[in-house]
Structure 1
Amino acid sequence: MIRTLWKLRDFRRLFSAYTITSVGDGLQPVALVFVVLEAGGTAADLGLVLAAGTIPTVALSLLGGVWADRFERRRLLAVSDLARGLCQALLAVLLLTGHATLWELVLLNVLYGVFRSVFVPSVSALVPQTVGDGDLQAANSVMGTVRNACYLAGAPLAGIIVALLDAGVVVALDGVSFFLSAACVLRMTVRSRPDSGAGRGSMLRDLRGGWQEVRSRRWLLAELLRSALELPLAVAPFFLLGPVVAQDRLGGAPAWAAISTAFLVGTLLGPAIAARYRPRRPMLVCTAIMYTGVLPPLLLGLTDWTAAIVAAELVKGCAVGFFGTVWSTLLQRHVPDEARGRVSAWDFTLTSGLTPVGYLLAAPLTAMFGTEALLVFGAAWVALGVTGQLCVRQVRTLRDGADEPATASAPETPVGEPVLVAQATEN
C-alpha cells in the first residue's frame, strides 16, 4: 500500500515539502536555546522567546482553520512557508552579523507562530486531496514517521552544527527549508478549494460551524475533551518532573535521556504498525491503547527501576504514534472536506492550548502534595479519562469508514445528554 503512494505526484510533492520543513522544525528549538543562552540570556528570557512562537500558533489556529476552509489550501501552505522562511532568514542575518537583540528574537518568533497557525490545519486538510481513500492511513503513517524521525534527529544534529559553526547557520538552514517546501507545494496540481458555505458569512459563524461538526460527532468530542484535560494534568507534570526525579533517584541526565529517547523511538514504531494494521473499530482500539499512559508516571513516582520506566515509555510512544496516524485518518474520512480545516484547528487548539497551564501548575502542586503524589495522580487521571471515554457508545462502535463519503453534521446534538457527563468525567 505504501508503494502506491510514491506513484501519486501530488502526494510526493506534499510529502517532500512536509519532510523538508520537519527537518527545519527539528533543528530550530535547539538553535534558539543556544542563541539566547550564548547571548547571556536567563531562563526567563528563554521561556519568553519559546513562548513567543508557541502562543500565537495556538491562539490563532482556529482562525487558520477558517482560512483553510475558505481558500485554496495549497496556496495557504505556500504563503505560510514563504513567510516563515523570511522570518528565519532575517533572524539568521541578525545572528550571523551579531546584531540580534532579545526583542527582535521575540518579534520574529511571534510572526513565525502567526504563520504556522495557518500551516497546521491546512496540511491536515490537504492530505485527502492528494491520495485515494484507501491510501489515507498509509499516507498519514509515512508523514507521521518522518515528522517524528526529524524531531528525534533534530536536537543532536542542531547541537553538532552549533558546535562546529554557529547557531545562526542552523536558523539559516531552517529558513532555506521553508523556501524549498514552498517550491514543492507550488508544483502541486491540486487547485480545488472546499465547496462550502465557509467564507459566505462571518468568521465567527464559520467557527461555530466547525464546533458544530465536532459536537455532532460524540467520538470526536470525547477524544478532544480527554486529551484537553489529560495533557495538562498528567502528561505535562510527567515531562516537567521527570528530569527532577531522574536527577534525585535514577542517576541523573543519562536516565532521563534514555526515557525520553524510548518515547520518541516508540513514536516511530507506532505509525509503521498503523501502515499495516487497520482496525475495524479504530476508536475502540485507539482509546484502549491509551491505557499505556498509566504506567510511566506510576513507575516514575513509585520505583527507581529505570529499565521498567524506559520500557513503559517505549510502549506508550508506540501507542501514541499509532493513535496519531489512525486519528488523522478518521478526521479525514469522517469529517466533510469543507469543514476539515476548522475541525483540525479545534483539535489542535483543545489538545495544545491547556498544556502550558499544566507546566505552570506543576510546581505549586508539587510543593503542596509532593512529586510522587502528583505523578501517581497523573497515572490515575489517565486511567479515569480512558475509562470514561470508553463509556461513550460511538467510541466503541465507530467503524473504519474506508470508501464511505464523509457527510455534513446533522442538526445540533442537544446539550445535556448522558454522553456529555461521561465525557466530562472521563478526564
Structure 2
Amino acid sequence: MQSHPPPPHRGRFPWAGRNFRIQTAATVISGLGNAGAPIATAFAVMESGGSTAEVGYVTAARLVPVVLLLMVGGALADRLPRHHVMVAANLFSAVSQAVLAALVLAGNVQLWQLMLLSAAGGAGHAFYAPASEGMIMQSVAAEHAGRAFSVFRLALNSAQIGGMALGGALTAAVGPGWVLALDAGCFLLAASLRFLLEAEAAAPAEPGGGMLRDLREGWQEFASRRWLWVIVLQFAVLMACITAVDAVYGPIVAEQRLGGARDWGLALAAHGVGLVVTGLVMVRWQPRRILLVGNWGVFLFGLPALALALTAPLPALVAAMFLSGAGVTVFGVNWMIALQQEIPAEAFSRVSAYDHLGSLSLAPVGTALAGPAADTLGLSGALWACTALCLVLSAVVLLDPQVRRLSRRTLGRPADAPSEPASAR
C-alpha cells in the first residue's frame, strides 16, 4: 500500500479523520458481539454435555486457522485495499456465527459442528486482523499516535464491558444461542460501516515473486528488530496461558465454585472496566520508554490465574481481572505506538500478521492441553503454572536492552524521518 497522510479534519478532534472514526465505530460494534461469544461458546459446549477438555478443543479449533492463515491475510491486506479485506472477513464471520447460533438454538449441537464453525470464525479473523491494524495505523498521523491509539482502545474496550456483561447475563437468562446470534448481527453491521471507508491506493505489483516475495519482505522487517520478535516470543507462551485461563479454566471455576455464567461475565466485565479506565489515563500519559512501561503492564496479566488458583472469592477475582485489564491497555497502547513509529506503512499488515502469528502460535496447544493439564496437575496446579509463566516471562523480557530503551520520538518530528536504531537508545 502507498502511504498517504490522513486527510485534515477540522473540529474538536483534528487527529480523528473519517477513516479513523468509521473504523473505530465499526470495531466497537463487532467487539460488542465478540465479547460475549466466548462465554456463550464455552457454555454451549457444557450444556451439550461436553467436558473441560472439549471446551479446550473448541477454543483450539478457532485458533488453528488463525495461525495457519494470518500470513496470507497480512500479505493480502498490504496488497489490496484494506477495507475490502475487512468487509469480506466480517461477512464470512457473520455467516459462520449465524449458522452456529442456529444449531445451538435448535438443540443437540454436536462437538464436531462446534469445532468446525469455531474454525470458520478463526479463518475470518485471520484475514480481518492484519487489515484492521494496518488501517487504523495508517489513518493516524505520527504526532497524534499516542492520543489516537488510546482513544481507539478506549472505545474498543468500552464495548467489552457491555459485551461481556450482556453475554454472561444473556447466556444465563436465554441460553448461549442468542448470544451467538447477536454476534452474527454485529459482524453484519460492522461490515456495512467498513464498506464506507475510503479506499487506499494499492501498491503497484512488481514482476516476479508475488505473495512469497511480499511475505519475505515482511519477514525481513520483522526479524531485523530484536525488540519486536523478543516480545512476540514472550506473548506466544503468555497467550497460551491466558487463553487457557479465559476460555477453559475461568468458566469451569465459575461453574464449580462461583455463580456460573453470570459471575464469570461479571469478572470479564471488570477486566473491561480496567481496560477503559486505564485508556482514559493513557490519553494523556505519554511515557518516553514505551516498551519498558508497556512490559510493566504485562506483569499484571497473571493476576486472574492467581486469583482462580487461590480460590479467591468473587470480589477478589473481579479486582484481579480489573488490574489485568489495566495492564493490557498499558501494554497495548505503547505497543501500537512502537509499531507505527518503527515499521514502514507499506508493511504494517504483514508485520502485524507476523506479530499475531507468533503471539498466537502456541494458543491452540495451550487450550487443547488445558483439560489434560488440569487432569494431571489438578485445576489449581494448572492455574499456578500459568501464573508462574506470566511472571517469569515478564521479567526475562526486560533483560533485553532494546526493550528497555526503545523511546518515543520527540513530538513534532516528521513522520518519515529515519529513527535511530533501537539498540542505540
State the TM-score bracket (shorter-chain normalisation). 0.7 to 0.9
TM-score (norm 1): 0.78
Shift in Å, 1:345: 1.1
Shift in Å, 1:22: 1.5
> Does 2:223 align with 1:215?
yes
Q: For structure 2, which runs of at least 5 residues remain unmatched after alignment?
A: 1-9
Letter in 1 for 2:28: T
2:353 to 335, 345, 351: 345
> Does 2:142 align with 1:133?
yes
Shift in Å, 1:167: 5.8
Tell me the equivalent position of 2:125.
Answer: 116
Q: Is the 8 A contact 1:125 1:332 kept in 2?
A: no
Q: Which stretch has the larger CA shift, 41-50 or 145-154? A: 41-50
Distance 1:273 1:140 in 2: 12
3-state SS of the aligned residue for 1:4?
Answer: coil
Tell me the equivalent position of 2:79.
Answer: 70
Q: Is the 8 A contact 2:302 2:390 kept in 1?
A: yes
3-state SS of the aligned residue for 2:284?
Answer: coil
Q: Is the 8 A contact 1:270 1:320 kept in 2?
A: no
Change (3 A) 1:219 1:407: farther
Letter in 1 for 2:162: A
Q: For structure 1, which runs of at least 5 residues remain unmatched after alignment?
A: 418-427
1:235-274 aligned at under 5 Å gives the runs 236=244, 240-241=248-249, 260-274=268-282
Shift in Å, 1:47: 5.3
Q: Which stretch has the larger CA shift, 115-124 or 281-290? A: 281-290
Letter in 1 for 2:219: W
> Does 2:169 align with 1:175?
no
Tell me the equivalent position of 1:10.
Answer: 19
Tell me the equivalent position of 2:198.
Answer: 189
Change (3 A) 1:10 1:211: same
Change (3 A) 1:19 1:385: same
> Does 2:299 align with 1:288?
no
Superposed CA RMSD in Å reads 4.1
Q: Is the 8 A contact 2:100 2:180 kept in 1?
A: yes
Letter in 2 for 1:121: P
Change (3 A) 1:344 1:30: same
Letter in 2 for 1:119: Y
Q: Is the 8 A contact 2:65 2:119 kept in 1?
A: yes
Letter in 2 for 1:182: A
Q: Which stretch has the larger CA shift, 117-126 or 395-404? A: 395-404
Tell me the equivalent position of 1:83.
Answer: 92
> Does 2:43 align with 1:54?
no
Shift in Å, 1:59: 2.0
Tell me the equivalent position of 2:335.
Answer: 327
Q: Deviations over 1:342-364 (max 9, x none)?
A: 11111112212212323344555
Q: Is the 8 A contact 1:335 1:407 kept in 2?
A: no
Change (3 A) 1:258 1:186: closer
Shift in Å, 1:61: 1.1
Identity %: 33
Q: Deviations over 1:72-117 (max 9, x none)?
A: 1111112212333343455566677889776655544433322221
Letter in 1 for 2:149: N
Letter in 2 for 1:390: L
Letter in 1 for 2:148: A
Equivalent pairs, count: 410
